[in-house]
Structure 1
Amino acid sequence: MSKNVIDTVEELMLPITEEMNVELVDIEYVKEGSSWFLRVFVDKDGGIDIEDCGTVSTMLSEKLDELDPIPHNYFLEVSSPGAERPLKKKEDLEKSIGKYVHVKTYEPLDGLKTFEGDLLSFDGDTLTISMTIKTRKKEVAIPYPKVAKARLAVKF
């Protein structure tokens, strides 16, 4: 049922994203304890603010009330994806070239499954990351199909 809810919410968000000129970054529908949460993450050039989130929440809530795709009580949360936003689509990776990223792979590459560094390039098939291992800089090529998760990262 979780996948159906996410697909339905994604469809409901399309006219909202166009009208509000925001990007739908991610949707989560999860049970935490005894409560269900529908979390929608949106962003826009220059960043999203609380008023934008409130407007998107109101618009989405109205559409959810009309369609009623969720048969039980849940909490709707609309927010920014934050500083460590997920990079779920190829377009997200393309926009993130030059930024500091954190990538996990399904299987080890050169003995590692976690990579963190500057995203140098992404050609649609391979990510190239410049990372520091101990004191040495190394460029790592990661085939896109091997990427389990990718997100922006905060560099310390």
Structure 2
Amino acid sequence: MIVLLCVNVADIFARLPSDSSESSAEDLDYPAVQKKSLELEVPEAEHVCPTTIMKRHKPKFGHMGNGSFVELQQDSEHSFEATFVECTNGHHRPPCHGIDTIIYSSECVTSYEWRTAFVRLPGSNADFIQAQIKVSPPSRGVLAKTLREDQISPEK
């Protein structure tokens, strides 16, 4: 619940009563603020970009920083687990909803961070080695201001 405080501008300045019956130069105007509250329901959080959340996901494969596709070690010796958050439609960068499309264009973008895991080339019998792999933390919406033809000035 959020409470918004509103101030009535007409009530900002009010003359305080004087102790004497005569009006004097010592009578001062003091600001008197009258607060009025307005209670509004706040909706649950809303995601503007369609995302897929995979909690405690244990991927079998991943990508290293150099782009190499690798197998991740998932056994009793070493196991990699993380929460992955990706745009629902993969790399197609779908538009976000709830955005003023007249002023902005939007797209869902999966961002990545680096995590340590034990990896090797897929299908090899080599030992797993420690390396950095890409993990997708929460995706984000990207906005770009849309320029309409009437906003573009001709080159001189």
Name whichever structure is richer in helix by fraction. Answer: 1
TM-score (norm 1): 0.20
Instruction: Tell which structure's C-alpha radius of gyration is larger.
Output: 2
TM-score (norm 2): 0.20
